[in-house]
Amino acid sequence: MSVLRSIVASVRVGWYREFNWTNPLLGFSMRTVGPLAGVIAASSVYFVGSSAARSFSPSQLAFILIGAALYTHVAAYSWVPTLAIAEGKWTYVFPQVFISPHSSLPYLTGRTLASFFSSTLTVIVSLVLSFFILSSVFNTSIPFTVTPLSVTLLFFAMLVNILAAFGLGLLLSAYALFATKFEWALPTYVAGLLMVFSEALFPVSFLPHPVSDVANVLPFTEFMRASRQAMIQGGDVYSYFSYIGLATLGGVILLAMGFLAFRYAENRARRLGVIDKKTA
């Protein structure tokens, strides 16, 4: 119960952190512009390139549109534990959280969930907007399946992916705990890699071996595949659930790795005396 209170309070603080730094409408708009621009940019690059090569395919556009939108979603909230630690050291909130009875894990969970909710909202809005904008500008019909079932399956995939994203977040924040430099930058580098290795913009089979094999088993890749099965015409429920199964398995493994790395880093940070050390 006490842990739950910590998580709920941290979700609330996270929500304020996401939207309440200015008036909520402006905050929401600013947070939607990023993913919307990302989706439109990626889709436009594809459209221009494929049109020049006379190989444009609406289903490939749908592939990129879904991938780009969900990539920004994962990138937006998987680095929140790192952010919460780095800014928490600056504001001295993090050391206070650390010495509370349940320490920092419920706090990081709550902050991640808050960011998941907010980025889910902004990504769905940017997905809808980019669908209409791109359909109209490129004068094409993007083959999306929008039914109650497909939307439910998409949300379910997003929920399952929290395991992997939080696991990645904990791995990154394990470094942020005792780092005094570059802890802000590391998630950006990892997010860049994720764009290449998670099938966000192109199938990972295009990558050379053995990189493609590694990318193939990443839970993020399975999440992308499951989401496409749900949202793009021609997808099937059997494939969806097989991808979801793999995403869950990979997510649990990544979460366990993140948890162990974080616990190790906590102890080491306490030994080094950097839990309350401000970053450079």
Which positions touch other proteins (CB under 8 A)? Answer: 1-3, 5-6, 8-10, 12-13, 16-17, 20-21, 91-93, 95-103, 106-107, 270-271, 273, 275-276
Dihedral class, residue 208 (left if φ above 0, else alpha if ψ from -120 to 50, else beta): beta
3-state secondary structure of 199: coil
CB of 267 to other proteins, least distance (A): 8
Least distance (Å) between residue 175 CB and other proteins: 19
The residue among 68 and 176 lying less far from other proteins, judged by its C-beta, is 176
Is the bond preceding residue 35 a cis peptide, omega within 30 degrees? no
- At closest approach, how far in Å is the CB of 226 from other proteins? 35
Nearer to other proteins, 20 or 152 (CB): 20
Nearest-approach distance from CB 33 to other proteins, in angstroms: 20
Nearer of residues 10 and 229 to other proteins, judged by Cβ: 10
For 168, other C-beta atoms within 10 Å of its C-beta total 27
Using CA atoms, how far apart are residues 39 and 57, in angstroms rounded to an integer? 17
Closer to other proteins by CB, 259 or 276: give it. Answer: 276
3-state secondary structure 31-99: HHHHHHHHHHHHHHHHHHHHHHCCCCCHHHHHHHHHHHHHHHHHHHHHCHHHHHHHHHHHHCHHHHHHC
Complex with other proteins: residue 57 or 96, whichever CB lies closer = 96
How far apart are CB 5 and other proteins at their closest, in Å? 5
Provide the residue type at 263 as one letter: R
